[in-house]
Amino acid sequence: ELTPIARRRLAALKEFSDLGAGFKIAALDLELRGAGNMLGGEQSGHIEAIGFELYTQMLERAVREMKGEAAPDEAGIQLNLGLNIRIPSDYISEENQRLRMYKRVAGVETESQLRDVSNELTDRYGKPPAAVKNLLDYATLKLSAMHAGATVIERKRDLVNIKFRQNAAIDPGKLARFVASQRGSQFAPDGTLKFSIKVTNAEAILQTLRDLLEELAVREAPAAAT
């Protein structure tokens, strides 16, 4: 006789028969079996421990490897901030629905798309709790990073590293002034900005990093009137 977990996995396989379903099935399996079983170590599966993008990429890679398919392209923006950005089960109780929302947030590429996700969450499930607000703010930070040309943002305690592309759209003068104004900060030859951050709560951390990226980013000149 099938166990409850086996029944739910079979239900997921039946429901997620579309392309790209590998991530959803693996993520459901992760929730059902426990993160440690799949990724190794009691806490290693926590999103806040490894970063949201890496979390989704590891799941996608694991499923593709099991199916004998090529690994997915992992180019993109990596944010690893050590923050609680999970969707609690007491906010969205159904695993499949939580996974859909994770996938939607991970796929956001514009502010308009992010507003749609935020509105859907509120309309369907009510006012988002703090962890879900963090997830949405996290997506906003990712958009700011995309605009500024940042590829990696890492935070360990009060230390932050932001790696920029070689052709990042940042203002050199503003970058130099920021480094000069922040004791102990530096901009390394490989394009990594290193500095410390004093705020400790998730909302303030996300806002501070977003404000910095928006300040450093080169603003597009307004179109000339015709």
List, as one string, the DSSP characters of 133-149.
HHHHHHHHHHHHHHHHT
Q: Other CB atoms closer than 10 Å to residue 142's CB: what's the count?
A: 24
pLDDT along the chain (226 residues), means of 10: 56 48 51 41 41 57 57 65 84 83 84 94 94 91 92 92 92 94 93 93 93 87 47
pLDDT of residue 77: 82
pLDDT of 4 = 62
CB 34 within 8 A of CB 45: yes
Say what the pLDDT of residue 97 is: 84
Quote the pLDDT of residue 129. 93
The token duo for 196 is 């410390």
Sign of the C-alpha dihedral, residues 121, 126, 127, 131? negative
- Integer CA distances (angstroms), 69 to 7, 22, 57, 65, 72, in order: 26, 11, 14, 6, 9
Tell me if residue 85 falls in helix, strand or coil: coil
In terms of Cα–Cα distance, which of 192, 110, 109, 108 is closest to 153? 192
pTM, entire model? 0.68
